[in-house]
């Protein structure tokens, strides 16, 4: 018979020693004991560290994202990388881009910085708009709810990707990452706001809110001090699941030529550039494609795991 303590026993011991575990502690405890979640967290940690320390990492590799190495490509063959697997070598760890010889490793590292920054920024802005407007609509109801709900319906009626392409195509190049964050958030917040609105309507009639109102608490205090803390689980889950979607959206827009513009590195832009080189240099597509796929997959799996833990905690 196994003597290894179960996860429930571990939580019970922790509760006896220092009080019941918080929701954050419970989520972390469950995730640490889930192999798939640990693998996803490990990969995401690597990507985040790459993005955070991109300048230092590229110094160690010896090549920046905008440096050209003409000796790494064969001009006689139209710029095909020298060597096998797209020019992978001790000098160029992931090979080089065809035709110009830019280091793929450096481009991947800086592309991670762009993709993660845009996705997280869009998630934060979407979260602020969605949570605040959703709570106001669900709590005040009446004309406030009607106004916010009609705006949500208006934005959700549009085919978002098509209108993102149209809007970004009509705007000057400017600071593309900022424009991407604004446009993605403008079409993304209604989905979160609709969920928050429904949950706020339910919470607004609960006993603890009525007790706070009877004690003299003002409406804004009721919204942000009583209702908002009880929406934390939903906000965490939806934000976690939003990040991979926004990474994919940024990559798709860059692939279509309306996202991040050259020479700024972006995974979607790299995949777009690799279209004409599939047959002669498949690694040019495979490497950024693999990083994009694994990042989105890891975030999606992690979001599902967090949602399962939260649902299990609420059911208990």
Q: Decide the pairing of beta strands 80-81 and 73-74.
A: antiparallel
pLDDT tier at 89, thresholds 50, 70, 90: confident
Pick the CATH number of 115-266 from 1.10.3720.10, 3.90.550.10, 3.90.105.20, 3.30.1330.90: 1.10.3720.10
Query: What's the CA gap between 42 and 44, in Å, rounded?
Result: 6
Residue spans of the domains in the chain: they are 115-266
Cβ proximity of 239 and 123 under 8 Å: yes
pTM of the model: 0.82
Q: What are the residues facing 74 on neighbouring strands?
A: 80
Per-residue confidence (pLDDT) for residue 33, from 0 to 100: 81
Q: Could you read off the pLDDT of 118-174 as tens digits, one per residue?
A: 999 999 999 999 999 999 999 888 899 999 999 999 988 888 888 888 888 887 777
């Amino acid at each position: 018979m196994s003597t290894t303590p179960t996860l429930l026993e571990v939580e019970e011991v922790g509760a006896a020693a220092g009080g019941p575990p918080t929701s954050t502690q419970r989520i972390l405890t469950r995730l640490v004991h889930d192999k798939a979640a640990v693998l996803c967290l490990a990969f995401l940690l690597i990507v985040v560290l790459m993005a955070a320390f991109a300048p230092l990492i590229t110094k160690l590799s010896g090549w920046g994202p905008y440096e050209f190495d003409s000796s790494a490509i064969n001009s006689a063959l139209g710029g095909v990388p020298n060597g096998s697997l797209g020019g992978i070598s001790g000098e160029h760890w992931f090979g080089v881009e065809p035709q110009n010889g830019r280091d793929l490793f450096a481009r991947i590292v800086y592309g991670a910085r762009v993709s993660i920054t845009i996705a997280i920024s869009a998630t934060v802005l979407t979260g602020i708009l969605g949570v605040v407007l959703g709570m106001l609509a669900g709590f005040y109801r009446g004309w406030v709810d009607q106004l916010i709900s009609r705006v949500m319906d208006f934005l959700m009626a549009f085919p978002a990707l098509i209108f993102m392409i149209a809007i970004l195509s009509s705007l000057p190049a400017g600071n593309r990452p900022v424009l991407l964050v604004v446009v993605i958030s403008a079409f993304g917040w209604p989905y979160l706001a609709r969920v928050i609105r429904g949950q706020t309507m339910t919470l607004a009639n609960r006993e603890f809110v009525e007790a706070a109102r009877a004690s003299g608490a003002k409406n804004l205090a009721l919204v942000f001090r009583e209702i908002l803390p009880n929406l934390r689980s939903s906000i965490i889950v939806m934000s976690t699941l939003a990040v991979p979607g926004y990474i994919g959206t940024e990559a798709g827009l860059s692939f279509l030529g309306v996202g991040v513009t050259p020479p700024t590195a972006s995974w979607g832009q790299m995949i777009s550039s690799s279209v004409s080189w599939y047959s002669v240099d498949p690694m040019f597509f495979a490497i950024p494609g693999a990083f994009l796929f694994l990042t989105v997959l890891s975030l999606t799996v992690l979001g599902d795991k967090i949602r399962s833990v939260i649902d299990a905690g609420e059911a208990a």
